[in-house]
Structure 1
Amino acid sequence: MQVSYKNTGGGEDVPTGHDGSISTGHANSSKDMLKRLETMVLMGMELPLSAIRSQIASGIQILVHLGRLRDCSRKVLRVDEIDGIKDGEIQLHSIYRFVESKGGNLEGKVTGTWEKTGILQNVEKLREAGLS
């Protein structure tokens, strides 16, 4: 299922306290997606980059990066958490990444596993919802 930017309220509901928003974007990595978001906002508004980054960091918690592999399959390649701003840059904290198996399988399909690379840092909302 693909949810378009327009279907999420045009992004207006993301940083205003409406939990549960989801959207898609097209980029080569999570970091690249953040840069694209900055560029899109700069094209439509005259705001300082620091204010844009602050809004992005407060409005988005998790980035899930899907990619196309050499066998033309698509897989979740990374799950990253936005971990605030440091030295003016949005910080990403890796939680999972796809690790390709050497050689794949007999049919030429890319195989692999998801490796846990970190621990979710911002768990307050999960705890408030009764999840642990």
Structure 2
Amino acid sequence: MSTGHKGSLSTGHSDSPEDMLRRLETMVLMGMEIPLAAIQRQIASAIDIVIHIGRLRDKSRKVLQVVEVLGYRNKKIETQVLYEFRENPEKKERITGEWKQIHDLIHKAKLFSAGY
């Protein structure tokens, strides 16, 4: 992902944003022997946002969380939840809900450099 070009988009399959980061670590370890700390630093510098989409009980898919990758500290990749889907009581077997902002985006420099 850190190819020197601005912007990139990719998909992966996991049960949570944190699980996706661990799966990325595992994929790199399957291909070469690099210290885990080096892999984690590269992942933390390459990924800014993780968007978690899940399938719910009613078989619908919804964006469940938007998570910011803060960096590599204390031997782990640190994240924070920016937005989270909060489920309302079911209506006619269909799941509804609303977005709840949990934290503000910390790393805004890339957005500003892109004109946002």
Relative to the length of structure 1, the TM-score reads 0.85
Q: Distance in 1 between matches of 2:114 and 2:21?
A: 27
| Count of aligned positions | 116
Computed over aligned residues only, the root mean square deviation of the Cα atoms, in angstroms, reads 0.8
Name structure 1 gaps, 5 residues minimum.
1-13
Is 1:108 matched with 2:93?
yes
Q: Distance in 1 between matches of 2:65 and 2:83?
A: 5
Q: Match for residue 71 of structure 1?
A: 58
Q: String of CA shifts for 1:45-92, please: whole Å, max 9, x gaps.
A: 110001000100000100000011110101000000000112110001
Q: Match for residue 50 of structure 1?
A: 37
1:23 pairs, out of 10, 31, 36, with 10
Aligned to 1:15, the other structure's residue is in SS state coil
Q: Distance in 2 between matches of 1:53 and 1:18?
A: 20
1:15 to partner: Cα distance:
1.2
The amino acid that maps onto 2:90 is G
Q: Match for residue 118 of structure 1?
A: 103
The amino acid that maps onto 1:86 is R
Relative to the length of structure 2, the TM-score reads 0.96
The amino acid that maps onto 1:83 is L
1:17 to partner: Cα distance:
2.4
2:72 pairs, out of 85, 89, 100, with 85
Q: Distance in 2 between matches of 1:39 and 1:129?
A: 32
Is 1:62 matched with 2:46?
no
Q: Distance in 2 between matches of 1:130 and 1:76?
A: 25
Name structure 2 gaps, 5 residues minimum.
none
1:127 to partner: Cα distance:
1.1
